[in-house]
Amino acid sequence: MPSVVANMNCSIPLTTLTSSPFNLVLGQIIYVKIIAYNAYGYSTESTIGGGAVIVHVPDAPINLINVVSVTTANQIGISWSNGVSNGGSVIIDYEIYYD
């Protein structure tokens, strides 16, 4: 009776792709080819697929400070810097929470 692979997907840890020998960087596009095999040998390579981009969430903003020249009895002024990594994609917005 032939075997059937029901789950035709895989996950590759980001640390595998960003370390040696691959050394890929955030924002870089990854294209994939797959080869199937059975008891009789290996298939030819699939067509190129994928186009996945190495990304992750950005680092938290840093250096949050009160902007004294803007802070008054009616408003506060705040300023911050981006974290070290933007996760491989431009930061497009911020959510500000206060208590």
Each domain of the chain, given as residue ranges in start order, spans 14-53, 57-99
- Provide the 10 A C-beta neighbour count for residue 68: 8
Q: Is the pLDDT of residue 4 over 70?
A: no
Q: Is the pLDDT of residue 5 over 70?
A: no
* Contact of 49 with 29, CB cutoff 8 Å: no
- Alpha-carbon dihedral angle through residues 12, 15, 21, 27, given to the nearest 10 degrees: 90
Q: Is the pLDDT of residue 27 over 70?
A: yes
The single-letter DSSP state of residue 38 is: E
Instruction: Kindly report the pTM of this predicted structure.
Output: 0.50
Q: Is the pLDDT of residue 1 over 60?
A: no
Q: Which of the four pLDDT bands, split at 50, 70 and 90, describes residue 7?
A: low
Please report the pLDDT score of residue 72 as a whole number: 95
pLDDT tens-place string over residues 34-71: 888 888 888 998 888 877 777 778 889 999 999 999 99
